[in-house]
Amino acid sequence: MGVSLRNGTLLVLAVTALACSRAMFAFFDDPEGPNLLVVVVMASVIYVISLAGYLSKFFPSLTGIQRSSVAVFIQMFVATGFALLRR
């Protein structure tokens, strides 16, 4: 049972969405720390937005690692935007 490139990319997007969400909530001044449910829900939102960008046909010339890199960049941009909006 091997992991195909597409499944591996989706797994990487899920892990980076979780990392971006956790990093976003780590910068808030909360003595109790971030709630796990809130982090997971925000990671899901970030993942869905980046997945839409990854699966879109907006830039058909992007393939493979370039498409994955753009999706990760979208995740970082969205997490930064949510963090700035929350302030």
Whether the predicted pLDDT of 40 surpasses 90: yes
Cα separation, 10 vs 38, in Å, equals: 21
* Residue-range domain boundaries for the chain: 5-86
Residue 87 has pLDDT above 80, yes or no: no
- Residue 75: which of 50, 53, 56 has the closest Cα? 50
pLDDT-based confidence at residue 5 (cuts at 50, 70, 90): low
Burial of 60 (0-12, 13-18, 19+ CB in 10 A): exposed
- Residue 85 makes CB contacts below 8 A (sequence gap 6+) with none
How confident is residue 75, by pLDDT bands cut at 50, 70 and 90? very high
